[in-house]
Structure 1
Amino acid sequence: MTYQQPSDLRTVPTVRALAQDEFDAFIRFHETVFRDGGTVPRKLRELVALAVAMTTRCSYCIDTHTRGAADTGATREEIAEVGFVAAAVCAGGAMAHGLLALRLDAEHRHTEEDTRA
């Protein structure tokens, strides 16, 4: 069984009917973010969205923003490179969380020593 299927997108009208105000607000937000004419060019917006989609592992978003990046002129090389940007940021985040874990471990050990004394 696969959980994400393109056919799921056929339920979009149902979701809109169930939560119309929220759905419409989300669509307006999405259209604003991916508009043409902002300070950040649309191609860059699509490449950023693609990198984020890769880190959140959203297959639907990867599909949408790969197409969006290509439609705005992104090359295959650019699409490939943003995958490595996403990977590096994820790896950096894991390392940063490792540093946090070491600090928290030291704090927990210090607290445990204080309560034993």
Structure 2
Amino acid sequence: MEIEKIRKTIDKDTDEAVEDILTEVEERYGEIPYIVNFMKDMPELFIPRMIYENSVMREFRRMDPKTVELICIAVSSALRCEYCLKTHVRVAKRLGVSKEEIFDSILIASTISNAAVLAEGTRSLDSEFSEDESEKQNSRDGTCTICNIASELPEEE
């Protein structure tokens, strides 16, 4: 969101600012997403959140709206947020994104999610079954033998 637009929004009467934001959201999405509707009665949280969200998701010029929605779809898929996913699929469809493009973003998300599971799982497995006693001791001390970062987890007994 441009600074001047943010100032104008903040300077408005609270109810008017909320209504203006809701109107903008509905124009952009074609609907009012659940979270937005839920938070509208908490203007002290709603207004700053929406200003931030608009600044990140809609107002910068480095990505076009279709790309932003494809990223939202991928992240929603990876996080398994059914409601966000359905909302962003609808928005992408309204923007003219094809079913195939949407599916490609879901495939990419599934590949990265799969890699994350494998990376975490194999690191734990490798750490536990390491033949090097110093690596085992580091692991027991809470230090990752691969990235050398200390863990915050309690020690095993």
TM-score normalised by L of structure 1: 0.71
Identity percentage over the alignment? 25
Corresponding residue number in structure 1 for 2:136: 110
Q: Does 1:54 align with 2:54?
A: no
Q: Any gaps of 5 or more consecutive residues in structure 2?
A: 1-33, 139-157
Structure 1 residue 77: Cα displacement: 0.6
Q: CA RMSD in A?
A: 3.0
| Range moving further from structure 2, 70-79 or 27-36 | 27-36
How has the CA–CA distance of structure 1 residues 67 and 11 changed in structure 2, closer, same or farther, with 3 Å as cutoff?
A: closer
The letter of the residue matching 2:116 is G
In 2, are the aligned partners of 1:36 and 1:42 still within 8 Å (CA)?
no
TM-score normalised by L of structure 2: 0.55
* Bigger radius of gyration among the two: 2
Bigger relative contact order, structure 1 or 2 (CA pairs below 8 A, ≥6 apart): 1
Mapped to 1, the partners of 2:137 and 2:68 lie a distance apart of 46
The letter of the residue matching 1:85 is I
Q: Any gaps of 5 or more consecutive residues in structure 1?
A: 1-8, 113-117
Q: How many residues align?
A: 104
1:6-85 aligned within 5 A: 9=34, 12-13=37-38, 15-17=39-41, 19-35=42-58, 38-85=61-108
